[in-house]
Structure 1
């Protein structure tokens, strides 16, 4: 084909008559082609999306752009957009148009929640954490004592008593959510030990045994260390880490009934030591 330009045409007949004229061949403009690109996928209701349009061929500059954003924008690149689908219409200097559709994705915003239950053992107080977070794919726990975990529902034993700030981060990239809660670890101490000071081991099923562990606290009973002495310092009873946590009023050496009277005891539970007197009544 001919290149763009002006050409002269001469036409002659058999009598040598001729006529000349000029013909202009215009350049042929190829069809407009357009590409778009998106970036900055958001979390929840965030507005950090960006879209850009570029003419990759055809058309005659300058180009005008029209985006169906709210409000409409007329630049080649638009930003601060929420998630959604957008259309751009590009028009060249000759009125030729091309249109493209692109979208900005959004990820669900995680919601971080957890609960905890404390369990007493001889090693201390362990805490069972229940992760009730939603819209998350991974988790990071910080227990406030330089320990961490990535388990869904971890169990953690704290090294000492006190208040620990437990933090859970729930993630679903690129989104995350964080929540922190104070966990108070009181330990197995005086509040877990009873105050009984009289017992009557007569076999009637009522108050037949002396212990400082509450009847409902089996784990505490297993961890209770109890010694009982008579007035001369003779050890009548000793319990440590066994089911034999209750003094039935007998001498541990010969298993004979101790006489009625006042006895001295030393009880240890966790970090707490309690000393006192108990009266045995026959």
Structure 2
């Protein structure tokens, strides 16, 4: 943990930064923890102390399995605003979780039609016909494979 201590008469703000290592994060995920700060005020010649307790709960680490459960299998790129593009929400770049490396989409003959290393990728099937496509979501610890139907 890192805290920038500041002193002065006006209202002060200080940055608090905490970067747990992966083992600590995994051990504390989903649990509540309390961080105590001690404040000191001696502006009037008397030394006054106070404490502040901040409660926080760490979220669970994302997993590739969570991504797999949120993956659509049909897109209809017709401009109606519903399922026009293939994208997956929730691909995290949390340092302790599995790291996203790339998405690749192939046609039924195995030709690569799309590739991206961006976690916020969006494929709208531009320049390809309706049909069945195959994707591979590559993470550091696994590859999730699936099919995607494009209906135009």
After TM superposition, the score normalised by the length of structure 2 is 0.57
Unaligned runs of 5+ in 1: 1-147, 251-256
What is the aligned partner in structure 1 of residue 151 from structure 2? 281
8 Å CA contact retained: 1:200, 1:208: yes
Larger RCO (CA under 8 A, 6+ residues apart): 2
Distance 2:50 2:130 in 1: 71
Name the counterpart of 1:206.
Answer: 82
- Give 1 or 2 for the bigger CA radius of gyration: 1
**Distance in 2, Cα, partners of 1:163 & 1:246:** 34
Post-superposition offset of 1:197: 0.4
Structure 2 residue aligned with 1:186 = 61
CA distance change for structure 1 residues 181 and 258 in 2, over 3 Å: closer, same or farther? closer
How far the C-alpha of 1:212 sits from its partner, in A, is 1.8
Asked if residue 233 in structure 1 is aligned to residue 97 in structure 2, the reply is: no
**Alignment partner of 2:27: what SS?**
strand
Cα separation, 2, equivalents of 1:271 and 1:154: 32
**Structure-1 separation of matches of 2:60 and 2:20:** 8
**How far does residue 271 in structure 1 lie from its aligned partner after superposition?**
6.2
In the alignment, the residues of structure 2 paired with residue 171 and residue 185 of structure 1 have an alpha-carbon distance, to the nearest angstrom, of 29
What RMSD over aligned residues (CA atoms) do the two structures have, in Å? 4.0
Q: Which has the higher helix share?
A: 2
Q: CA deviation at 1:208?
A: 1.7
Tell me, yes or no, if the aligned pair for 2:2 and 2:18 is still in contact at 8 Å. Answer: no
Equivalence map 1:94-173=2 (5 Å): 148-151=1-4, 152-160=14-22, 162-164=26-28, 166=33, 168-171=35-38
Give aligned pairs, total.
124
Q: Which has a greater percent of strand?
A: 1
Distance across 1 between alignment mates of 2:75 and 2:110: 20
Give the TM-score normalised by the residue count of structure 1. Answer: 0.34
Instruction: Determine if contact 2:76/2:151 at 8 Å carries over to the other structure.
Output: yes
**Cα distance, 1:191 vs structure 2:** 3.0
5+ long unaligned stretches in structure 2 = 5-13, 41-48, 95-99
Q: 1:224 to 1:209 in 2, by over 3 A?
A: farther
